[in-house]
Chain A
């Protein structure tokens, strides 16, 4: 919480929060493209690998929306300790959307990179 309020105090922190929120949907779909994952595994993986540092609770409503839109599905299966866990996976529709999102992202990232100081025109 202290980290979040620090971020909201300075312009770069606020910008980063907005930027991260904007790509969350894409990052969730990307993370699930390899294999199905349970909630905590997915979210902690995103935090570690993609440095998407948003409140973890933000991701559950987003996953619910992705499920309603038919982009991801969930199923209950036994976890490590025997307690059932909800595993999320990409649906065919989600996989198709992700396939189309990747070139859009690459194009956007390349065009922004080309504007950075020192980039070749």
Chain B
């Protein structure tokens, strides 16, 4: 149900919006794909009830009230793909659904994982600084005979050469402090944005 636009710019805007809808609904099942028609009808009705303004302005206002397709379609697609994937035992469909889920509503989970890994790294640096005086030959940066390098707290350091010596302590402490400040500032910024 495409309106007969007189303004080519309005037509381009319409096409761009519904191309995005189509892109998101490409792999959706028939019920979900039917949404495109519902959305088109909604925009046509919304433009028809608007008073004043050019065709382009009325379309812009209607699409603005509708919202960005990615914002309102992604959670739906995530649910739909996960449901279909679990019914058909399709790992690809499940993975696609999970990807949509992560990118839509589960942003917090990804952030939580990222910050969790960050704090784990911080704990490792701190542990390195604390353990170096007690377990010196197993803590630091080690180069093995075959040229490989390992860093951290290493149980099997035989045959390797420790590169940093006591410098491991200030370097680990510095990295821990920098990481602590960066993670804390990052969390504070996120909290303010929410």
- Contact B71–A86 (Cβ < 8 Å): no
Classify chain A's interface size. Answer: 20 to 34
For B37, the chain A residues whose CB sits under 8 A away are 86
For A65, the chain B residues whose CB sits under 8 A away are 76, 79
Shortest CB distance B76–A (Å): 4
For A85, the chain B residues whose CB sits under 8 A away are 41
Which B residues from 58 to 94 make CB contacts under 8 A with A? 64-69, 71-73, 75-76, 79
Interchain CA distance A8-B161 in the complex, whole Å: 54
Given A39-B42, A64-B35, A68-B31, the answer on whether A56 and B66 have CB atoms closer than 8 Å is yes
* Interface of chain B, main secondary structure: helix
Given A14-B194, A40-B42, the answer on whether A55 and B35 have CB atoms closer than 8 Å is no
- Contact A60–B194 (Cβ < 8 Å): no
- List 13 additional A-B contacts (Cβ < 8 Å) besides A40-B49, A60-B39: A1-B67, A14-B194, A38-B45, A44-B49, A55-B65, A55-B67, A56-B46, A56-B67, A57-B72, A60-B42, A61-B35, A65-B76, A83-B41
21 A–B contacts, CB within 8 A, in A order? A8-B193, A38-B45, A39-B38, A55-B65, A55-B71, A56-B42, A56-B65, A57-B39, A57-B66, A57-B67, A57-B69, A57-B71, A58-B72, A60-B35, A60-B39, A60-B72, A61-B73, A61-B75, A64-B35, A64-B76, A85-B41
**Which residues of B are in contact with A by a Cβ distance under 8 Å?**
1, 31-32, 35, 37-39, 41-42, 44-46, 49, 64-69, 71-73, 75-76, 79, 193-194
